[in-house]
Structure 1
Amino acid sequence: MICSMTAFARADRHLEGYSLVWEIKAVNHRYLEVSPRLPDALRALENGVREKCRKALARGKVEVTLRYQQDDSEVSLELNEELVKQLSEVSRRVGDLVQHPGQVNPMEILRHPGVLSTRKLDVELLQNESQSLLDEALDALIDTRRREGEQLGQLIVDRLDGIGTQIDIVKAAIPRIKEAQRERLRTRIQDVIESPDPDRLEQELVMLAQKMDVDEELDRLVTHVSEVRRILKKGGHIGRRLDFLMQELNREANTLASKSVDSETTAAAVELKVLIEQMREQIQNIE
């Protein structure tokens, strides 16, 4: 199983009187960096959020945001009836004292502090619901990372197939290239015979041997490609290992290019470097 580091997930829950929403944004990063953003009423959850993320994720820059909103349409108002009775009685007595009898104004009583109150927030319940909802958001994030990881894996496999094609092209071209080099050497030897210079002949032979010997580079390319395929099949947290193998593949492609004595092998080496760079860019997003 391959996981991408880039993903987004959202989980929401509507409870009586309020709603909770978790949003998790993750991008590629060398290590795991978690940045929780929590409302003041739930700030105590920060350490728990970090711990859950550390258990669920291995790499990535992760922003974890919790939004808490009270639903005004479901706000439950509580009436302090005892206080209302006392205020009503006091109002009537005041009216009698000032000899100004009349009905008590309910709105005036409602404005008095303590007559109306909203239900107190159950912080413990809110924290429990938030943590449970975070688990759902993390599960959704991991599912997204897995799906994107599968796509990245397929893209890398396609590039590996392309590398295999270029290796086959170079291997098939080597006999023809060697024969052309032999003919070129014969021409140079003829020049040496006309103007004998043993040192020059020795230099030409050494240079030709070095230029034509690319078997080691091709073998290493094949080995590295096989290792990348094995790691992809194994899955897990493979991003760093694949990144190292891209460096090794690129090194062999550069060496092959430097040894090229033919336009066909030069073109193959360039194509190898393009394919390797494309893989490297994809691997930057793999966990």
Structure 2
Amino acid sequence: MISSMTGYGSASRQVSLGGGVVADLQVECRAVNSRFLDLGFRLPDECRGAEPALREMASQSLSRGKVEFRAAWRVNANAAGAAKANPHALGALNADRLDALYTLQEKAQAAFPKADPLRIADILRWPGIVSEPRGEEEGWITATVEAGRAALAALMDSRQAEGKALVGVLTAITSKMRDIVGVIEPKVPGYVSQYQEKLTERLSEALASQEQSRGGAELMERIRQEVVLYAVRIDIAEEFARLKTHLQAVDKALAGNGPVGKRLDFLMQELGREANTLGSKSVSEECTQAALELKLLIEQLREQVQNLE
């Protein structure tokens, strides 16, 4: 199924920190447009070991887009109950660091007698005072990879859903382009006939003073030459044929599976080239307007194609 390059997915897992305490780990996977696959990771230190596995996983599943994995964790709200049953569940005080901090405070107060003493909250936040349970590295890596895999799957589901909607939009645009071609293409021979009639009238007036026999032969030959040159100049049958071929290729790509963004990028260039040629060979106001409408629709196609993988 065709996918867009934008999407979002998230998943969570729990990690045991020891002593009955668990951490809630949340992994998010976001994707936006990019010509190539660009992977980024914002992981806490505990989850860094999972980055190679996440990178390989994303590279196997995605081909384009700027994709970023983010992870964050916090102690589960039920950890308070575990702390009551086990006083060391949420951490233990480091006696040596606590004594050192007390000594530093005494020295600081001796130098600054008016300074306020440290509060309990300040002491607990001091680096190294509380030895918090962090769990095992293997547990963090396993949980991060599992959550990352689930988040990536959710991301791909969202990208496919958006891709399906984009296919509908693109198909509607190509249908409008076919309608325009279907209206203009049959009228081109009529433009040639109208020109032939006008040319015959003008040349007849210009050669009216000549002898009938000589003038008639020259008139018909001149008309024939001018009509041939004009028909060659405005011959856009080849452009119409290529335009319809490119539209068929677009529909075929949209009906397929897998990445199609780069293929459609190329087809947009080809469609634009044919529309420009139709405009330059325009032989009527209606034909000029049709070429402008085709260019507008092609630009709409190009904008939407940028979102496809």
Give yes or no for TM over 0.5. yes
Give identity over the alignment, percent: 38
Query: 1:130-169 CA deviation, whole Å, 9 max, x = no partner?
Result: 1001110000000000000001111110011011101101
Q: Mind listing any 5+ residue stretches in structure 1 that lack a counterpart?
A: 81-110
> Where does residue 63 of structure 1 map in the other structure?
68
TM-score, normalised relative to structure 1: 0.80
> Where does residue 174 of structure 1 map in the other structure?
188
Query: Does the aligned pair in 1 maintain the 2:36–2:64 contact within 8 Å?
Result: yes
- Alignment of structure 1 residues 38-53 onto 2, 5 Å: 38-53=43-58
Within the candidate set 246, 262, 280, 1:258 is matched to 280
Query: Does the aligned pair in 2 maintain the 1:243–1:283 contact within 8 Å?
Result: yes
Letter in 2 for 1:54: S
Query: 1:118-138 CA deviation, whole Å, 9 max, x = no partner?
Result: 544222112101100111000
> Where does residue 241 of structure 2 map in the other structure?
219
The 3 A distance-change label for structure 1 pair 218 and 43 is same
Q: CA deviation at 1:218?
A: 0.5
The 3 A distance-change label for structure 1 pair 154 and 7 is same
Secondary structure (helix, strand or coil) at the match of 1:26 reads strand
Tell me how far apart the structure 2 counterparts of residues 179 and 206 of structure 1 sit (CA, whole Å).
11
> Where does residue 17 of structure 1 map in the other structure?
22
Q: CA deviation at 1:248?
A: 0.6
Tell me how far apart the structure 2 counterparts of residues 217 and 13 of structure 1 sit (CA, whole Å).
58
Letter in 1 for 2:238: E
Query: 1:82-113 CA deviation, whole Å, 9 max, x = no partner?
Result: xxxxxxxxxxxxxxxxxxxxxxxxxxxxx9xx
Query: Does the aligned pair in 1 maintain the 2:23–2:73 contact within 8 Å?
Result: yes
Task: Give the aligned CA root-mean-square deviation in angstroms.
Answer: 3.0
Greater shift in the superposed pair: 122-131 or 207-216: 207-216
Tell me how far apart the structure 2 counterparts of residues 37 and 184 of structure 1 sit (CA, whole Å).
73
The 3 A distance-change label for structure 1 pair 154 and 142 is same
Q: Mind listing any 5+ residue stretches in structure 2 that lack a counterpart?
A: 16-20, 92-123, 210-214
What is the number of equivalent residue pairs in this alignment? 258
The 3 A distance-change label for structure 1 pair 120 and 214 is closer
Q: CA deviation at 1:42?
A: 1.8
> Where does residue 153 of structure 1 map in the other structure?
167
Tell me how far apart the structure 2 counterparts of residues 121 and 281 of structure 1 sit (CA, whole Å).
48
> Where does residue 267 of structure 1 map in the other structure?
289
> Where does residue 6 of structure 2 map in the other structure?
6
The 3 A distance-change label for structure 1 pair 201 and 182 is closer
